[in-house]
Amino acid sequence: MLKKLSAQAGTLLIGAIALVFIFGSLTVLDLGTPRRMGPGAFPLIAGGILVILAAVAFVGDMKDRAEHQKVDWRAVVPIVLAVGSFALVTPRFGVLPGAGVCVLIASFAVDALSPLRRAGFVLGAVFGVWLVFIFGLRLPLEAFRGF
């Protein structure tokens, strides 16, 4: 039973982290309104989606009797560094440089990307962040700090 639960530890961890985001958004942050979302709306929505996905994945793994898999550190390390870099870069330089650095570092989790594709991926993601969050949703984010 313990070995079986260890196979689903990642799924349970994602669900637990999502619950922390939901709790924090409901207790600390302002949710705003549907037309003008506050800073707590995104963690609430993302956390809710993650809880649902974690529950579906957990039930599916229990039915399929998923086996314990080795951790792919080549993928985990760039993703962790990408999230940390976003947290460090965004307050100092703005959301678009933060998103660009985050996507650039996260792209090293994939082996098959050429430098040209990696640059295109970063530029596309930065444009997508600007299009959705700044232009589309008109969230009060600083695209470039100081500009």
Write out the chain's pLDDT in tens, 147 residues: 555 666 678 888 999 999 999 999 899 888 888 888 888 899 999 999 999 999 999 888 888 776 666 778 888 999 999 999 999 999 999 999 999 999 999 999 988 889 999 999 999 999 999 999 999 999 888 899 876
Burial of 126 (0-12, 13-18, 19+ CB in 10 A): buried
Using the structure block, give the residue that is written with the tokens 């678009």.
96
How many CB atoms are located within 10 Å of the residue 127 CB?
13
Residue 124's alpha-carbon distances to 120, 130, 131, 132, in angstroms, are: 6, 10, 10, 12
Whether the predicted model's global pTM rises above the 0.85 cut:
no
**What are the residue ranges spanned by the domains of the chain?**
1-63, 73-134
Distance CA 24, CA 20 (A): 6
